[in-house]
Amino acid sequence: MKVKFFDYPLQFKIHEKEYMEIIKNVLSRGHYILCEDLKRFEENLAHYVGTTYAVGVGNCTEALLLSLLAADIRLGDEVITVAHTFVATAEAIKFLGAKPVFVDIAEDHNMNVDLVEAAITEKTKAIIPVQLNGRICSKMDKLVDIAKRRNITLIEDSAQSLGAKYRGKMAGTFGLAGNFSFYPAKLLGTFGDAGAVITNDEEFAEKIRMLRNHGRGSGTEVGMWGLNCRMDNLHAAILDFKLKLLPKWLDRRREIASLYNDGLSEIRFLRLPPAPEDDSEYYDVYQNYEIEAEQRDELVEFLHRQGIEAVLQWGGKGVHQFTALGCGTTALPRTDELFKKALMLPMYPELTQKQITYIVETIRDFYHSNN
């Protein structure tokens, strides 16, 4: 049996008719840039996450960059984040001349909030928790409190967590802004790149709208230096259709996570993510099902030989481990340990029961015959 890490053609095929109608409809109207489909998607996205505003941009890297720009992060400022993230988080900070300051991660693979206060200096202007793998970081309340008390801007990299909740509150809504990615493999993905910033702050939302469109507001007057970071109207129309399917897809991801947890929990060589039903305060959406495994490299090789695509997140390195970036000065023992053991199993709504059983049994076989 073959199990792909993500199956783009299969996902397309399931709703091919609807997608083709949407594409034809947008193209025949000739509505490509900043049109009503984008406006509608922004309204529906804001409604879904419960914020007043959502602003569509080209991708989540731009969402992060524009959020930091609009929050006045500048040369010499420090921004606290984690190294177990896509390079984009640090990239956005770096491109404004600011410095990414990494704190270590906790057991849930997210920012260890207990380490944040010690990393704050007089230059700290923002904190970016990364809500990784579809889970909001533990002690989010404490982080919100630290940011408020120390007058530091809180911006979430919620690229991987659209729909995730902690105590009923959605990822991306805990601070000034949340940033989402609609990269094809994301929880809500389009057929290319797209992203969004969400916020309740009217002035901030207007700044993002201007920054994404060459510093222009609704007319042609250029009110500030900006860029071209617009979300294509076509992507917005596709995403607006897919947004309606998202709750069903998230439920299916949670079902799959439960099946993995049930099937793998007795293998003592593995550490699994919390199961969906483990803690009623969290609604995890499993962008990734990232486990920690003894004999990780051998296991990955075995899975590949059996036709199962398991993947190491970010190619198996944290941002601090890419030497060309020069960010490797801080000791991050838990992050380093994780990168020796972490791997992601296939996780997408279209996975079948048969495929899941096959993956579970193949992992069991591996540890049975190697120990």
Ligand X SMILES: Cc1ncc(COP(=O)(O)O)c(C=O)c1O
Which residue ranges make up the site for ligand X (CB under 6 A)? 59-61, 85-86, 88-89, 130, 157, 159-160, 181, 183, 193, 195
Question: 195 and 63 in contact (C-beta within 8 Å)?
Answer: yes
Specify the residue, 77 or 193, whose C-beta has the smaller distance to ligand X: 193
Specify the residue, 86 or 366, whose C-beta has the smaller distance to ligand X: 86
d(CA 301, CA 272): 19
Neighbours of 291 (CB within 10 A): 22
d(CA 82, CA 170): 20
Token pair 């020796």 in the structure block, residue: 340
Q: What is the smallest separation between the CB atom of 273 and ligand X, expressed in angstroms?
A: 16
d(CA 212, CA 288): 29
Neighbours of 271 (CB within 10 A): 16
The two tokens of residue 33 are: 């840039």
Specify the residue, 67 or 261, whose C-beta has the smaller distance to ligand X: 67
Distance of CA 366 to the CA centre of its chain: 31
Q: What is the smallest separation between the CB atom of 3 and ligand X, expressed in angstroms?
A: 21
Nearest to 188 by CA among 227, 161, 208: 161
Specify the residue, 133 or 153, whose C-beta has the smaller distance to ligand X: 133
Q: What is the smallest separation between the CB atom of 87 and ligand X, expressed in angstroms?
A: 8
Specify the residue, 195 or 264, whose C-beta has the smaller distance to ligand X: 195
- What is the per-residue DSSP string for 202-224? HHHHHHHHHHTBTTB-SSS-B-S
Q: What is the smallest separation between the CB atom of 8 and ligand X, expressed in angstroms?
A: 15
Q: What is the smallest separation between the CB atom of 181 and ligand X, expressed in angstroms?
A: 3
Nearest to 194 by CA among 54, 53, 18, 19: 54
Specify the residue, 67 or 160, whose C-beta has the smaller distance to ligand X: 160
The letter for the amino acid at 343 is L
Question: 332 and 260 in contact (C-beta within 8 Å)?
Answer: no
Specify the residue, 84 or 99, whose C-beta has the smaller distance to ligand X: 84
Q: What is the smallest separation between the CB atom of 368 and ligand X, expressed in angstroms?
A: 34
d(CA 179, CA 200): 13
Q: What is the smallest separation between the CB atom of 104 and ligand X, expressed in angstroms?
A: 17
**Taking each helix axis from N to C terminus, what angle separates 296-305 and 353-370, rounded to the nearest 10 degrees?**
130
Specify the residue, 60 or 291, whose C-beta has the smaller distance to ligand X: 60
Q: What is the smallest separation between the CB atom of 157 and ligand X, expressed in angstroms?
A: 5
Nearest to 342 by CA among 75, 133, 154, 138: 133
The letter for the amino acid at 127 is I
